[in-house]
Chain A
Amino acid sequence: MFRVLAASLPYLLQGAVMTLWLSAAAVGIGTLLGIAVGVIGTTVSRIARTIVTGYIFVLRGIPVVVVMFLGYYAFPALGLRVNAYVAVGLAQIVYVSAFVAEITRSAIGSVPANQIAAARSLGMRRPAILMQVILPQATRIAIPPLLNNALTAIKQTSYASVVGVWELTYAAREVVERTLAAFQIFLGVMVIYFLICYPLSLAAKWSEARLSFSQ
């Protein structure tokens, strides 16, 4: 019954490797960038906060596929020739970073005010309070939503196929057009996506249980 799927599996797995690359870039760089944006937006100045709030506000209201199209067409509009993978990768990095910035901002904001009062009462200066008190506690608060966000970002790479980037979903559509075995191919694709996400899903579940301070 799954003969077509078995025959196409190597091709699909090549697509999956591309999906992994896109995911790694979006999640890895997007998360680091987003954390930096979030920390700067909460700690540097009011102007920085306003800019970051606007950045988050705008990107949150746009579907990722639209951001990808914009990324794809932005470079030609500027007279630049950029590889579709790079354009879509950059678009997704920016998109992910906005969500990570919001998670970071809210995690920093949820460190209780009396923790900061305690640090100040010891005579600690702002950089030490940030590094020793706020960020370590905010990190624990942020890890579960960051993992969830990473899962979303991995699945969002499938939209890249709409813009013409070849990855798992694109490869699946090619196979389906050739073989017409849509059901079994997408069943197989589902399992591959699930397996890519599974370790992170486990980590998210584990972190929610382990990272709270009250045991």
Chain B
Amino acid sequence: MMPHALSTPMIEVRDLRKSYGPLEVLKGVSFSVERGEVVVALGPSGSGKSTMLRCINHLEEYQHGEIRIEGTSAGYTTGASGRKPHSEAVNARLREQVGLVFQSFNLFPHRTAVENVMMGLIHVRGMPRRVARQMALARLDKVGLVEKADEYPAKLSGGQQQRVAIARALAMQPKVMLFDEVTSALDPELVGEVLRVIRQLAGEGMTMIIVTHEIHFARDVADRILFMDGGVIVEQGAPQQILSTPVANRLRLFLRRYQGDYMGS
């Protein structure tokens, strides 16, 4: 579904390359995400999916290529004199618009659930506490956790913590949400509640990039699937096409390894 086919893409990644010392983890990744589109990145561990996400909101620096968010260059300005890193303030403004949810939740352990969600509203947006709390409670309600608002993260299950983390990112009203293997650290019985929240967001038209190992979920929720391996996008297309008629050998091998998962639908 691409309602604004002629407008600028929400996210545009062009020839993204990143290395840690001599090890190149992203070897020229290019793709774009339209407004309201849900893109799922699949691939074996170490294929560069998570690093790619962290480059998009510039938690990671990269050496080559360009990332644009609604046409605005993220992280660097490329001009006649070469490539200049943006100031920390410019990067922070970018991150406000890009929500990121981590594999390990990363809630602030010294703050209650609702205070976690209020953090950005107060300390980035400068909202008064009372207004921020009302807004944060509404977000917690959305992920079904308003009754846990005053609990500390240590008292919540993994699935509940991850839903609070989603609410915390949503509170900033981001244009895009990035999900970095958000169910990988969860017990199997807690995965469903988190996926349900993401599915609901997809239904509301949120633009998302989701890195996951849940192939079944990917087929359900994705408008498009990217299959990454060895720091490049090996194959991309509609879920049906990628999962039912894979072309690349590496993708077929990957799917066979997850077949139990996938066939069990």
Nearest Cβ distance between residue B94 and chain A, in whole angstroms?
8
Given contacts A126-B88, A128-B123, A132-B119, contact A121 B110 (CB under 8 A): no
What B residues does A126 contact at CB under 8 A?
A: 88
What B residues does A140 contact at CB under 8 A?
A: 110
Given contacts A133-B108, A137-B110, A213-B109, contact A121 B123 (CB under 8 A): no
B127 beta carbon closer than 8 Å to chain A: no
Partner of A123 from the list B102, B107, B120, B152 (CB cut-off 8 Å) is: B120
Q: Report the nearest A residue to B97, measured CB to CB.
A: A123
A114 beta carbon closer than 8 Å to chain B: yes
CB distance B110 to A136 under 8 Å? yes
Given contacts A122-B172, A133-B108, contact A215 B154 (CB under 8 A): yes
CB distance B88 to A121 under 8 Å? no
What B residues does A121 contact at CB under 8 A?
A: 57, 59, 95, 98-100, 102, 169
CB distance A213 to B100 under 8 Å? no
What A residues does B109 contact at CB under 8 A?
A: 137, 213
A60 beta carbon closer than 8 Å to chain B: no
Nearest Cβ distance between residue B37 and chain A, in whole angstroms?
21
A210 beta carbon closer than 8 Å to chain B: no
A162 beta carbon closer than 8 Å to chain B: no
Nearest Cβ distance between residue A71 and chain B, in whole angstroms?
39
| Residue with the highest number of chain B CB atoms closer than 10 Å, among A122, A125, A136 | A122
What A residues does B104 contact at CB under 8 A?
A: 114
A181 beta carbon closer than 8 Å to chain B: no
List B residues 68-125 near A (Cβ within 8 Å). 88-89, 92-100, 102, 104, 106-110, 119-120, 123-124
What A residues does B120 contact at CB under 8 A?
A: 122-124
Nearest Cβ distance between residue A212 and chain B, in whole angstroms?
9
B168 beta carbon closer than 8 Å to chain A: yes
What B residues does A215 contact at CB under 8 A?
A: 154-155
* Interface of A toward B, CB cutoff 8 Å: 114-115, 117-126, 128, 132-133, 136-137, 140, 213-215
- Can you show 27 pairs from A to B with CB atoms below 8 A apart? A114-B104, A114-B106, A115-B106, A117-B102, A118-B106, A118-B107, A118-B108, A118-B165, A120-B92, A120-B95, A121-B59, A122-B119, A122-B120, A122-B124, A124-B120, A125-B92, A126-B88, A128-B124, A132-B123, A137-B109, A137-B110, A140-B110, A213-B109, A213-B110, A213-B152, A213-B154, A214-B154
